[in-house]
């Protein structure tokens, strides 16, 4: 259960990161509310997962999922450049996250 909550919290990390960018310095209400909500729920999920998973592993998985999804969203939406090298390195992050789960 902790792993599932950790993965969902990592997804919510990407949500709040993207919402933060779209909030335009907290001047747009919708993205600002989404940012705050996703941030609180993401942190709560991380804290819950860390009750039964090691801190370093939990944090690495949480950040890895959030970073990979945020960059992938940027490439798909066209706000960040996409290249084969960027995709390969993002897949490397995902592979490391999966590896951490497999050895735990």
CA 18 to chain centre: 10
Residue 74's pLDDT band (cuts 50, 70, 90): very high
Give the chain's end-to-end CA distance (angstroms, integer). Answer: 14
Backbone angles phi, psi at 50, to 5 degrees: -70, -10
Residue range 42-51, pLDDT digits in tens: 999 999 999 9
Helix residue ranges, H only, the chain: 2-22, 29-49, 55-77, 84-103
* Mean pLDDT within 90-99: 93
Please tell me the pTM assigned to this model.
0.91
Going by C-alpha positions, the residue among 94, 79, 61, 64 that lies closest to residue 18 is: 79
User: What does the pLDDT look like over 32-72, one tens digit per residue?
Assistant: 999 999 999 999 999 999 999 999 999 999 999 999 999 99
Q: By three-state DSSP, how is residue 26 classified?
A: coil
């Amino acid at each position: 259960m902790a792993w599932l909550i950790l993965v969902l919290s990592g997804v919510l990390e990407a949500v709040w990161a993207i919402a933060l960018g779209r909030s335009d310095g907290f001047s747009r209400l919708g993205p600002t509310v989404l940012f705050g909500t996703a941030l609180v729920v993401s942190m709560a999920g991380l804290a819950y997962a860390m009750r039964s998973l090691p801190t370093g592993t939990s944090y690495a998985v949480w950040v890895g999922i959030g970073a990979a999804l945020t960059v992938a969203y940027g490439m798909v939406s066209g706000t960040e450049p996409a290249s084969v090298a960027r995709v390969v390195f993002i897949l490397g992050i995902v592979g490391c996250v999966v590896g951490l789960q497999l050895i735990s």
